[in-house]
Amino acid sequence: MPLTVRRAATPDLPVIVEFNRRLAKESEGKILDPAVVSAGVAAALADPAAKGPYYLAVDGGEIVGQMQITFEFSDWRNGWFWWVQGVYVRADARRRGVFRALYEHVRQQAQQAGNVIGLRLYVEPSNHTAQKTYESLGFVSAGYVLMEQYPL
């Protein structure tokens, strides 16, 4: 069966929570609290216009990958950046075009929206494999260093 991409819905919550937990463990060595992640995913699924929708890659009825989009308005450019976040592809589905399918779907959605001026993402500095994948799709360094104050 061909790979398809669809928008996530409430019944997808357990898979998204599990993928987010795996993503944190694999990419940053972090163990996320399942209750906190579950509440966060539930909030996003209940209010995707404000908190960002999830898109899921499905192969033969099984969810094999995910991507969340969040939004940033740029007054300098008078338009929206969509941030690619929460990207996870199940280990047994990697190197099979899952990320590319998710990315192409989101890129098409962004182009159709009419007010989206660009896509952004962040990647761990040591994750060279992901960086090469993103570069192959046309992403370039934005020249910024990501900083945060967390927790407040």
Q: What CATH code is carried by the domain that includes residue 38?
A: 3.40.630.30
Counting the structural domains of the chain, the total is 1
Per-residue pLDDT, 1:
63
Q: Which domain holds residue 32?
A: 4-136
Amino acid letter for position 73: F
* Closest by Cα among 89, 38, 50, 94 to 67: 89
Ranges in the chain, pLDDT < 70: 1
Per-residue pLDDT, 127:
87
Euclidean distance between CA atoms 98 and 90, whole angstroms? 9
- pTM here is 0.93
Per-residue pLDDT, 2:
86
In a domain, 12, yes or no: yes
Sign of the CA dihedral 37, 43, 44, 46? positive
